[in-house]
Amino acid sequence: MPTTTPSPPGSAAVLCGLAGWVPPRVVTNDELAARLDTDDAWIRTRTGIRSRHVAGPGQATSDLAVESGRLALRSAAGPPPDTVIVTTTTPDRPCPATAPLVAFRLGLSGAAAFDVGAVCTGFVYGLATAAGLIACGTARRVLLIGADTYSTIVDPLDRANAVIFGDGAGAVVLRAGEPDEPGAVGHFDLGSDGAHEDLITVAAGGSRRRGTAGEPSRTERHFAMRGKEVYRHAVTRMATSARASLGQAGLQTADLDHFVPHQANLRILHSVADDLGLPRERCVANVDAVGNTGAASIPLALADAARRGCLQAGDRLLLTAFGGGLTWGSCLLTWPAHAPCPQPERTTP
């Protein structure tokens, strides 16, 4: 579904705050290999992942969201947000949404607050939602948080998925500004294909799977993914979506300074970069240290790159995501003059 960039004065969403936060507990490949039939070499070769962070006992998605949100607000000068969006696949509960609690805990009671669900594409869908609210004047300042605790839905005995996913949160603050100023996001491409909804699922816990046939089985309660098929879709959809965003802006791959893909796994990222004809070194990647963190992965990768000084004012970035649904999306972002990323209280290793 192509969308056009808002163009009236003061109606563009401009990045002015950014932070990432991961829980302190690090789980290495060797630690997983001690309890699963896997090994460090297999995991690194197939996924590029060395370690991931995992939430502590009782630590919920909102806890991670609040930490990243607080840091992002601290990094952004200006008034408090009037809108809080949390995008997640692992909300604290099916009801209510996680965002109102996060807003309350951040001292933002009264703000509009709601969740966006698009699995690993959630952050790009959330950006488009925030940009739309700003474009129509309903919001002037939005706190958007991508947060996921996959450790709560992945079966710890499922070696195929336990090695891939990690927990984390990333947040951005967006303010109303001009479409051509550094920091502006735009040229969104969003899409979905529900015919493949069975490739990435949690079968139980929603309205489809009720208690009529007894308690859900262990398999139904956990995250399931058909990895090989997901891999193929991810590469194709991300490359196509990336091209669609570039096409809307009248740009070529060569015009990009950085490609910031959803950190699914390193092979997918490199395949997409190769497909686009983009040198792999322009692909921002931190999946080795955090794994696939779902809706958190793009803001975590951005925060990591900003903290390492890899992003310069005026750099042109393309963000591209893919996830269950299937869903996908891309948008362009010019890096703002004032780097909106303070030293986080906790960093990736």
Binding region for ligand COA (CB under 6 A): 38, 42-43, 46-47, 120, 159-160, 163-164, 225, 227-228, 230-231, 234, 264-265, 268, 292, 322-323
CB nearer to ligand COA: pick between 49 and 85: 49
Minimum distance between the CB of residue 34 and ligand COA, rounded to whole angstroms?
13
CB nearer to ligand COA: pick between 164 and 174: 164
Structure tokens given for 197: 């909804």
Instruction: Confirm whether 292 is a catalytic residue.
Output: yes
Minimum distance between the CB of residue 271 and ligand COA, rounded to whole angstroms?
10
Minimum distance between the CB of residue 122 and ligand COA, rounded to whole angstroms?
11
For residues 165 and 222, is the Cβ–Cβ distance under 8 A?
no
Q: Which residues pair with 202 in a beta bridge?
A: 223
Q: Which residues of 80-119 are buried (b: 16+ CB within 10 A; e: fewer)?
A: bbbbbbbbbbbbbeeeebbbbbbbbebebeebbbbbbbbb
First to last CA, the chain: 38
List the catalytic residue out of 262, 265, 283, 331: 262
Distance of CA 251 to the CA centre of its chain: 24
CB nearer to ligand COA: pick between 158 and 315: 158
Cα 183 from Cα 76, distance rounded (Å): 13
Minimum distance between the CB of residue 211 and ligand COA, rounded to whole angstroms?
30
Instruction: Confirm whether 120 is a catalytic residue.
Output: yes
Minimum distance between the CB of residue 121 and ligand COA, rounded to whole angstroms?
8
Count of all residues that appear for the chain in the document: 349
Q: What is the DSSP letter of 96?
A: S
Minimum distance between the CB of residue 263 and ligand COA, rounded to whole angstroms?
9
List the catalytic residue out of 16, 120, 331, 341: 120
Instruction: Confirm whether 262 is a catalytic residue.
Output: yes
CB nearer to ligand COA: pick between 140 and 226: 226
CB nearer to ligand COA: pick between 233 and 243: 233
CB nearer to ligand COA: pick between 241 and 334: 241
Following DSSP, what letter does each residue of 112-175 receive, concatenated?
Answer: EEEEE--GGGHHHHHHHHHHHHHHTTS-SEEEEEEEEEGGGTS-TT-HHHHTTB-EEEEEEEEE
Cα 128 from Cα 235, distance rounded (Å): 22
For residues 189 and 245, is the Cβ–Cβ distance under 8 A?
yes
Order across the sheet with 167-177: list the strands: 12-21, 167-177, 141-149, 83-87, 112-116
Looking at the annotation, which residues are catalytic?
Answer: 120, 262, 292
